[in-house]
Amino acid sequence: MFRDEVTIKVKAGSGGDGCVAFRREKRVPRGGPSGGDGGRGGHIHLIASPQLNTLSEFWTRRIIKASRGENGRGKDCFGRKGRDIVLKVPVGTVVRDADRGFVIKDLRTAGERLLAARGGEGGRGNMHFATATNRSPRTATQGQPGEERRLHLELKLIADVGLVGLPNAGKSTLLRRVSRARPRVAAYPFTTLRPILGIVRFPDYRDLVIADLPGLIEGAHEGRGLGDRFLRHVERTEVLLHLVDVSPFSAQPPDRAWQVIRRELQLHSAVLAAKPEIVAATKMDVPGSEEGLARLKAVVSAPVFPISALSGGEGVAPLLGELRRIVLEARPRTAAAEPGGSGQPSSPVLPAVESPLGPRGMGRPSGGPPK
C-alpha cells in the first residue's frame, strides 16, 4: 500500500566494554596490561533512493536496532565494530524529530544521507591506564550507549506539475494520455486513492514529471474526502494544472468548480495557493461544452486550455508545451534558492515510476539519444 507518513524508533548499537587483561607469555616476566578497547556500536543511516516512492516498508517495521560493538579482548585485541544499518527512503522524505517536532533534514536529492542515530563509543581497555606508578592497572571503562530517538518520516513527492480538481474532472485520463502511467479511470468519484506520478518525455529528451492527486471536494480543509491529505505532494511542484469539467454533465457549474478548488488551496496553504496556475477545460468533445468553457473563462484570470484527452487528444500538445515552458523557466530559480544551489538548471530526481511513452507525436524519437 502507498504510505506517505510513518513514525519509527531507531536505536543505535551500544559500544563494547573495555577489557582487563595481562600479558602472560613464556620468557616475558613483566608482560604488563594487554586489555583491548571495545568496538563502536552500529550507526543507523537514512539514504534517499530514487527507486522508492512509498514509506510502506516502515509500516510494519517501526523499531530498528543496530548491533552493539564487541567487547575488547586480551593480547591488545580490540572488539569488532557493530554493523551499521542503512535505511532507504524515497527522495523527498522530510525527517522530523517526533518528540520535539523540528525538521532534522529534508532528503531532496538522490544519494543524500542522514546519520539518524550514532552508535556508542567503545570502552577503553586497561592497556590505556598503565602509568609509571601503576604498571598493573585493573581499570577499564564500559561502552557508551547508542543514540535512541523517534523519527517522523513524511514523504513529499518530487514533481514538476501537480494536477488538482474536483473528482471526475479528467485528471487520470489526462495522465494516461500523456505518459505510461496507468491510473484507474471509472465513471464514479475517487477512483484515484493515492498520488500517482507520470513522466512526459519530449523529443529533446527533457522530462516533465506530473503528479495526479485524488480529487478535492468542498470542505477538504476540514478533512472531507481524500485530496487534502495528499496536497503536500504538490507543494514542491513548479506549476499547478487545474482541471475543470466544462461538459453539461459536470457535477457543478465550471465557474463554481474552479472557485471551490481555489478556496481549498488557499485554506490549506498560502504558498500552495500562490503557485503559478494553468486551467484546463476538459471533456470538450462532449456536445454543449462551449457554454461551460465561456462560463469558466468569465471568472478565471489564468490561461485556459480547452482539451479533450479521451477522444483525439485535441489541445493536449499546446497545454504540455506551456507547462514545459513554465517549468524550464522555474528550474534555475529553484536551484538558486536551495541551500548550496548553483543557479544552474538541473533535471529533477524522480521516484521510481513506469517508463514514459509520451503523447502522440511527442514520444522518444528513433535512433537513440544524440551523441
Query: Is the same domain home to 105 and 147?
Result: yes
Q: Is residue 171 part of a domain?
A: yes
Over residues 295-300, mean pLDDT: 89
Q: Is residue 363 part of a domain?
A: no
Query: Is the same domain home to 174 and 279?
Result: yes
Q: Is residue 343 part of a domain?
A: no
Nearest by Cα to 364 from 177, 205, 208: 205
Contact 217, 166 (CB under 8 A): yes
75-110: per-residue pLDDT in tens? 889 999 999 999 999 888 999 999 998 999 999 888
Pairwise CA distance, residues 268 & 234, whole Å: 12
Q: Is residue 329 part of a domain?
A: yes
Q: Is residue 348 part of a domain?
A: no
335-356: per-residue pLDDT in tens? 555 544 444 333 333 333 333 3
Query: Is the same domain home to 188 and 263?
Result: yes
Query: Is the same domain home to 92 and 204?
Result: no
Q: How high is the mean pLDDT of the chain?
A: 80
Pairwise CA distance, residues 70 & 82, whole Å: 7
Query: Is the same domain home to 239 and 300?
Result: yes
Query: Is the same domain home to 60 and 195?
Result: no
Segments forming the whole domain that contains residue 63? 1-23+31-129+140-155
Please list the helix, strand and coil fractions of the chain in percent, rounded to the nearest 5, in that order.
20, 25, 55
Query: Is the same domain home to 251 and 269?
Result: yes
Query: Is the same domain home to 228 and 96?
Result: no
**The predicted structure's pLDDT at residue 218:** 65
Query: Is the same domain home to 124 and 224?
Result: no
CATH code for position 74: 2.70.210.12
C-alpha cell at 236: 514542491
Number of domains in the chain: 2
- Between strands 148-155 and 93-97, the pairing is antiparallel
Query: Is the same domain home to 238 and 93?
Result: no
Q: Is residue 359 part of a domain?
A: no
Q: Is residue 278 part of a domain?
A: yes
222-276: per-residue pLDDT in tens? 555 555 667 777 778 888 899 999 988 888 888 998 998 888 888 877 888 888 8
Query: Is the same domain home to 108 and 232?
Result: no
CATH code for position 178: 3.40.50.300
Q: Is residue 350 part of a domain?
A: no
Q: Which helix (H) or strand (E) is 176 found in, with range?
A: helix 171-178
106-165: per-residue pLDDT in tens? 998 889 999 999 999 999 999 999 888 888 899 999 999 999 999 999 888 778 888 888
Whole-model pTM?
0.70
3-class secondary structure for 113-165? EEEEECCCCCCCCHHHCCCCCCCCCCCCCCCCCCCEEEEEEEECCCCCEEEEC
**The predicted structure's pLDDT at residue 249:** 85
Query: Is the same domain home to 57 and 169?
Result: no
